[in-house]
Amino acid sequence: MATICKGKNSWPELVGKNGDEAAEIIKRENPNIVDAIVILEGTAVIENFRCDRVWVRVNECRIVTEVPTIG
């Protein structure tokens, strides 16, 4: 499946990193990202797809637990 969003759209290398730092890296690596939102894993999120948003899921220690992707 071809990506419809411009720039980098997945950050597997950020799993295990601090969520706040990961959010900054995401915005730096893809200037099209407006919102890199750090949320606790398991938190419900809005389901609409946006090319300018990335959910950064973290555990209670604020460590990234899932690959952040555009969505």
**Confidence bin at 4 (pLDDT 50/70/90):** confident
- pLDDT at 1 (0 to 100): 41
What is the total residue count of the chain?
A: 71
Q: Identify the structural domains of the chain with CATH numbers, from first to last.
A: 1-71 (3.30.10.10)
- pLDDT at 3 (0 to 100): 60
pLDDT in tens, 16-63: 999 999 999 999 999 999 999 999 999 999 888 999 999 999 999 999
- Residue closest to 20 by CA, chosen among 67, 56, 47: 56
Sequence-ordered strand ranges (E) for the chain: 35-40, 53-58
